[in-house]
Amino acid sequence: MEINESQINASTVLTLTGRLDGLASPVLDQKVDSLLAAGIRSIVFDCSGLAYASSAGLRSFLAAAKKLKSAGGRASFATLTPAVHKVFELSGFLTVLAIYPTAASAANG
Amino acid sequence: MATWLKPELLLLDEHTSALDPKSGDQVITPSDEVIVRDKLTTLMVTHSSVSDRIRVVITDDAPAYDPLAREEVDTSIPLEDRAIGGLGVHLVKNHMNVSLYERIDGKNILTIEGRLNAIDRPV
């Protein structure tokens, strides 16, 4: 999986491309931890290129959202692909996480 | 055959995947006999597809452990109260047509089966 970092206003956007599985999720965890350590408090996960998210990937998303919330920040999730939307739905994420149609709307949300 | 080396852990990862189901059974049966005879610690993963179904079987001879018995994840509670983890089992139990744990002859056997054309909807 590739992680590309960009900025929209005060939000850091992580654009994820490929498969977020048990191998990729520790990389995402480290990325989120480094952003938190750098003082970033708003992260948008742009999932438009994410073909697949395993339970390990869902765990990373949930952990990131909890860490950011406890630090006074927020995690947002944008442009879910149908496959990722399905596992978000099955996991109850659609009601507990902030979901947006685009990265821009997530950053401004 | 890898079992001649008497390894501490024998990983059989889709070792019958290139065979038809009948030939696959002909490999698995003698493999099992050697594994039991030599008391090898083994983790075996196989999958098969018949018609519109795909079945994955994970077998090991570790102490008895039923991963499906863990407490169900409550997907309705707020983010701050929600525990991390357990989603893999949750997805299997709610997304697959069959999820079955058995303890047979000292082995943990986890069978997961789904219909390919129904895999997008929970059952």
As for the ipTM of the complex, it is 0.77
Residues above pLDDT 70, as percent of chain B: 59
- Expressed as residue numbers, the domain containing A84 is 2-104
Question: Residue B79: closest CA among chain A residues belongs to which residue?
Answer: A96
**Residues of chain A contacting residue B122, judged by C-beta atoms under 8 Å apart:** 90
The pLDDT tens digits for A44-95 are 999 999 999 999 999 999 999 999 999 999 999 999 999 999 999 999 999 9
Is there a domain that residue A109 lies in? no
CATH number reported for the structural domain that contains residue A95 in this entry? 3.30.750.24
- Expressed as residue numbers, the domain containing B74 is 6-118
The pLDDT tens digits for B7-23 are 667 777 766 666 676 66
**Residues of chain B contacting residue A97, judged by C-beta atoms under 8 Å apart:** 79
Question: Residue B92: closest CA among chain A residues belongs to which residue?
Answer: A55
Interface test with A, best of B68, B76, B77, B79 (most A CBs within 10 A): B79
B48-54 long-range Cβ contacts below 8 angstroms, 24+ apart: B48/B21, B48/B24, B49/B116, B50/B21, B52/B115, B52/B116, B52/B117, B53/B97, B53/B113, B53/B114, B53/B115, B53/B116, B54/B113, B54/B114, B54/B116
Mean of the per-residue pLDDT values for chain B?
Answer: 75
Q: Minimal Cα–Cα distance from A101 to chain B, Å?
A: 21
Is there a domain that residue B68 lies in? yes
Structural domains counted in chain B: 1
**Residues of chain B contacting residue A86, judged by C-beta atoms under 8 Å apart:** 120
Nearest residue, CB atoms, A66 vs list B76, B80, B91: B80
Q: Minimal Cα–Cα distance from B117 to chain A, Å?
A: 14
Structural domains counted in chain A: 1
CATH number reported for the structural domain that contains residue B11 in this entry? 3.30.565
- Taking the whole predicted model, whether its pTM rises above 0.80 is answered as no
